[in-house]
C-alpha cells in the first residue's frame, strides 16, 4: 500500500529534479543565445553600410564643390579681366559670381559636416570592434563553463531520475496518478506537512478529526482547504 511518507519522499525528489532541470534549461538557453555578440555584429554591419553610403556622398559633394569653385574662379577672371565693360553685363556677372560663391561656401560647409560625421562614425566603429572582440572572448570562456555545467547537470539529472524510477515502482498507479494531478495543479506541491495543526500548504487550521486521521497514518488524507495530501513529519 502506498503511504503518504512515500509520496512526500517522491515530492522531495521531484523538487530537486525541478531545480536541476531549471538550471539545465537556463544554461542551455544561455549557451544557444549570443544576443550581445549578435547585436554588436548587426550594429557594426549597419554602421559599415552607412559609412560606405556617406563616403560616396562626400565624394559627390567634394566633386560638386570643386566644380563650383572652378566656375567661381572663371567668373572672377571675367569680372576683373577687363574684357567686359558693359555695366549691365558686369552687374549680371557680379550677381552670378556672388551666387556661385555662395554655392561654393555651402558645399564646403556640407563637406566639412559630412567629414566630421564620418570621423565620428569611424571612431565609433573602432570602439565597437574592440568591444566585440572583448565580448567574443568572454563568451568563449562562458560557453566553456556552460558546457561543463550542462554535462554535470545532465549526469545529476540522470541520477535523480533513476532514483525516482525505483521509488515509483513501489507506488500503486492510482495514488501516483493522484499525486501527479495534484502536483501539476498545486504549483509542484502535492503533499503538505502538518505542523501545530496547520496545513503548511495553505496555512489553514485542520479540523480535529482530520488531524487524528493524519496521525493514524493508515490512509491518504486530503486537506479540506487546499486538497493537498497531508503528511505528519
**In 3-state terms, what secondary structure has residue 231?**
strand
How high is the pLDDT of residue 219?
Answer: 79
Domain identity same for 208 and 157:
no
Contact 107, 61 (CB under 8 A): yes
Please indicate, yes or no, whether residues 59 and 139 belong to a single structural domain of this protein: yes
The backbone torsions φ and ψ at residue 160, rounded to the nearest 5 degrees and listed phi first, read -70, -35
Last residue of a domain, one of 143, 169, 195: 169
Task: Please tell me whether residues 191 and 219 are part of one structural domain.
Answer: yes
pLDDT in tens, 4-52: 889 999 999 999 999 999 999 999 998 888 677 888 888 999 999 999 9
186 & 225 share domain: yes
Residue 146 inside a domain? The answer is yes
Q: What angle do CA 147, 131, 55 make, to 5 degrees?
A: 135
Residues 180 and 142 in one domain: no
88 within domain boundaries: yes
Domain boundary among 169, 197, 223: 169
Q: Residue 171 in contact with residue 10, Cβ under 8 Å?
A: yes
Q: Do residue 93 and residue 157 come from a single domain?
A: yes
- Do 51 and 104 fall within a single domain? yes
DSSP 81: S
Q: Assess whether 145 and 214 both reside in one domain.
A: no
pLDDT higher at 166 or 80: 166
Domain range for residue 222? 4-8+172-231
Domain count of the chain? 2
- Report residue 89 as a C-alpha cell: 553685363
Considering the domain architecture, whether residues 112 and 101 belong to the same structural domain is answered as yes
Q: What is the pLDDT of residues 173-231, one digit of tens each?
A: 998 999 999 999 999 999 999 999 999 999 999 999 899 989 887 778 999 999 999 99
Burial class (CB in 10 A: 0-12, 13-18, 19+), 229: buried
- Residue range 69-84, pLDDT digits in tens: 999 988 888 878 878 7
Longest dimension (CA), the chain: 127
Cell of 61: 559633394
Task: Specify the pTM.
Answer: 0.64
61 within some domain: yes
- Any domain includes 151: yes
Amino acid at each position: 500500500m502506498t503511504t503518504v511518507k512515500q509520496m512526500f519522499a517522491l515530492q522531495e525528489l521531484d523538487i530537486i529534479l525541478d531545480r536541476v532541470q531549471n538550471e539545465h534549461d537556463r544554461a542551455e538557453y544561455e549557451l544557444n543565445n549570443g544576443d550581445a555578440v549578435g547585436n554588436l555584429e548587426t550594429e557594426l554591419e549597419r554602421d559599415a553600410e552607412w559609412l560606405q553610403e556617406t563616403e560616396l556622398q562626400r565624394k559627390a559633394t567634394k566633386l560638386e564643390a570643386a566644380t563650383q569653385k572652378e566656375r567661381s574662379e572663371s567668373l572672377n577672371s571675367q569680372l576683373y579681366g577687363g574684357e567686359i565693360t558693359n555695366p549691365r553685363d558686369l552687374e549680371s556677372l557680379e550677381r552670378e559670381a556672388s551666387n556661385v560663391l555662395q554655392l561654393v561656401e555651402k558645399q564646403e560647409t556640407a563637406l566639412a559636416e559630412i567629414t566630421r560625421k564620418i570621423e565620428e562614425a569611424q571612431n565609433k566603429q573602432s570602439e565597437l570592434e574592440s568591444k566585440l572582440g572583448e565580448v567574443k572572448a568572454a563568451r568563449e570562456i562562458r560557453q566553456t563553463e556552460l558546457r561543463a555545467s550542462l554535462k554535470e547537470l545532465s549526469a545529476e539529472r540522470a541520477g535523480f531520475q533513476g532514483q525516482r524510477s525505483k521509488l515509483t515502482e513501489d507506488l500503486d498507479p492510482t495514488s501516483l496518478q493522484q499525486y501527479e494531478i495534484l502536483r501539476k495543479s498545486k504549483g509542484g506541491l502535492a503533499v503538505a506537512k502538518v505542523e501545530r495543526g496547520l496545513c503548511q500548504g495553505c496555512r489553514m487550521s485542520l479540523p480535529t478529526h482530520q488531524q487524528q486521521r493524519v496521525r493514524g497514518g493508515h490512509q491518504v488524507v486530503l486537506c479540506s482547504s487546499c486538497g493537498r495530501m497531508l503528511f505528519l513529519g
